[in-house]
Chain A
Amino acid sequence: MTALLQCRNISKSYGGVHALQGVDLKIEPGRVHGLIGPNGAGKSTFIDVVSGRTRGSGTVILGDVDISSLPPDKRRRLGLSRSFQRTSIFPAMTVRSQLELAATWVDDDNTADLVDMFSLHAVLDEHAEEISYGQQRLVDLALALVGMPRVLLLDEPAAGLSAGDSHSLTDHLLEIARRWNVAVLLVEHDMDVIFKVCNVLTVLETGRLLIEGPPDAVRSDPKVIQAYFGSTA
């Protein structure tokens, strides 16, 4: 299958600290690609650089367009969307109003489908700051999916969710990838979520790519066990 998003030699330094060092990654449509690693491995930094939130070096190609030098708004309009580690919504606006706003410029307004998918009917006319955290997370995800982007970068979407909400999230992610043919890059610490939804895993350690492969192979790889637990025993 042809990669939809190609990231080549992505690097990022903060002063003398190399947060990312020459990471390559390809993401295919209809698949969920997990990006895991210990704290400080550079997972969120990778998403930040690829989405244009942070300036880094390397090449990012979406489809056949080099988007490396484009600002975030242009990347979004070309089909690269993302969510954030912390819920990023518009607290004082109603859920309806912010979804409408997100849909203003898109060719295909899919907000009603998203409301169905995430069961947001009951809170459509509530202010976002007044709904539960789990619902805010879903609104956040819905905002990222308005217009159905081609690539979706998710930075710890299950953080702070209850077990039940987390389970629903995995179902949603699978549906997004399979039904909508979206290429998903998922950064997540919850390994249950990772192993349930990911088709392929990439492991980062101190800014470098450690290993990439199918989840089962990655799970049993001695280098990964060493990185996570400090021992292969």
Chain B
Amino acid sequence: MGGQLRMSRSIRQSTRFPIGEIVGVIAVGLSGLLFAQLDMPLLQSLMAQALILSFLAFGIGYLIRMTGWVSFGHAGPFGLGAYGVALAFSGPGPAPEVMLLLIIPGVTLLYFLVGLVVSRLEGIGFAMLTLALGQGLFVAATKFRAVTGGSDGIAVSLPRRLFGLTTDLLQQPHGMLVFALSFLLIVYVFLRLFERSHLGRLTVAIRENEERARFLGYRTRALRAAVYGISCGIASIGGVLFGLYQGFVSPDVLTWGMSGSGLIMAILGGSSFLWGPIVGAIVFFFTREWLTENTDHWLAILGIALIVIMVLWPKGLSGGVERLLARLRTGSGPVPVELRRKAA
């Protein structure tokens, strides 16, 4: 480009090494391994189920965090992951390992292509389109009985061994706990690396002001679709683990109620931190389990509890932690931007 007297100088700074976060990830991983060694099968089973569902919330929350889009249809990729497991082991074809490895990239690619279309819409239009797509998959799973078993569902015929490991481990609470946590941490690290990359920052810029990003010379639609595809891919990992652990898949995993639960978990956890939706899923799951054990009116109590939490911490649990950390640092909590502007 033009310019005659230019001296090229940059303002780039090297990014800080996230040592605290790395320690956190290692600590969570080690805690999970220790927990899996204990003789607490019920608690381990609940935690394994919570972690599996947290992939659904993680996918939805990541989409909110990076694009601001709210999806009502993430049960779709979750269910495709679960049905993918059932179908991968049910007939002739490539080795089960190959089929298993193709599910998550396949779902991610499929939803990337879907994203190229749905990313043309914003706000409520996007939400309704994702809901429609999710419901479409639910109806398809119900109607195509020959493939899916219809509303009766389909059993997962696990081979005895996968990747050289006995598959019994996948259906035991402590085994699935370790698998689910491992995948969760891998996905977490991958997403953090993505966020810190140029593409991650560009995604945030597009969320903030897509038009300006285009007038800075960037093509935006493909990247938005890619983030949508990645978020659906994350949800599909949960579906794969669900199929492996439960050994049975029915259209229940594709209902809009499933998408709604994932969305509630994601919003409960908040998107101030990447881990917010995971914590939201675990808190939601254990609270629901405890309430259903102790009262018939669990839904009303859960609803009221969620309302109270969201009123107190509109940005969810992770937003509450963010406020707490800011208060510890400054002694009085973060000053709202609007007030800071007035003060200036």
Q: Does B331 contact A (CB under 8 A)?
A: no
Interface size class of B (residues with CB under 8 A): 20 to 34
Size of interface on A: residues with Cβ below 8 Å to B: 54
Contact status B208-A110, CB under 8 Å: no
Contacts of A146 in B (CB 8 A): 216
Question: What residue in chain A is nearest B2 (Cβ atoms)?
Answer: A150
Bound Cα distance A77, B218 (Å) = 9
Contacts of B214 in A (CB 8 A): 71-73, 76
Contact status B10-A103, CB under 8 Å: yes
Contact status A182-B2, CB under 8 Å: yes
Q: Please pick, from A29, A71, A74, A89, the residue contacting B209 in the complex, using a CB distance under 8 A.
A: A89
Q: Does B165 contact A (CB under 8 A)?
A: no
Bound Cα distance A77, B216 (Å) = 8
Separation in Å of the A166 CB from the closest CB of chain B? 19
Contact status A148-B3, CB under 8 Å: yes
Q: Does A82 contact B (CB under 8 A)?
A: yes
Contact status A182-B198, CB under 8 Å: no
Known contacts A91-B208, A98-B205, A100-B11; decide if A72 and B215 are in contact (CB<8 Å).
yes
Separation in Å of the B200 CB from the closest CB of chain A? 11
Contacts of B4 in A (CB 8 A): 179-181
Q: Please pick, from A81, A130, A148, A150, the residue contacting B215 in the complex, using a CB distance under 8 A.
A: A81
Contact with A along B303-344 (1 / 0, CB 8 A): 000000000000000000000000000000000010011001
Q: Does B5 contact A (CB under 8 A)?
A: yes
Contact status B337-A129, CB under 8 Å: yes
Known contacts A76-B215, A77-B217, A99-B11; decide if A108 and B6 are in contact (CB<8 Å).
yes
Contact status A79-B2, CB under 8 Å: yes
Within 8 A of B (CB), among A47-73: 51, 53, 71-73
Q: Does B204 contact A (CB under 8 A)?
A: yes
Contact status B11-A90, CB under 8 Å: no
Separation in Å of the B305 CB from the closest CB of chain A? 30
Contact with B along A131-168 (1 / 0, CB 8 A): 01000000000011011111000000000000000000
Residues of chain A touching chain B, judged by Cβ–Cβ distance below 8 Å, are 29, 51, 53, 71-74, 76-77, 79, 81-82, 84, 88-93, 96-113, 115, 124, 127, 129-130, 132, 143-144, 146-150, 179-182
* Contacts A53-B211, A93-B205 known; 17 new A-B pairs at CB < 8 A: A29-B2, A73-B215, A73-B218, A73-B219, A77-B217, A81-B215, A82-B215, A89-B209, A90-B204, A93-B201, A100-B201, A101-B201, A108-B1, A109-B12, A110-B8, A130-B340, A143-B212
A-B contact pairs, 29 of them (CB 8 A): A29-B2, A53-B211, A53-B215, A73-B219, A79-B1, A82-B215, A84-B211, A84-B212, A88-B209, A88-B211, A90-B204, A90-B212, A93-B205, A96-B13, A97-B201, A101-B216, A104-B198, A104-B202, A110-B3, A112-B10, A112-B11, A115-B11, A127-B337, A130-B340, A132-B341, A144-B215, A150-B1, A180-B2, A181-B4
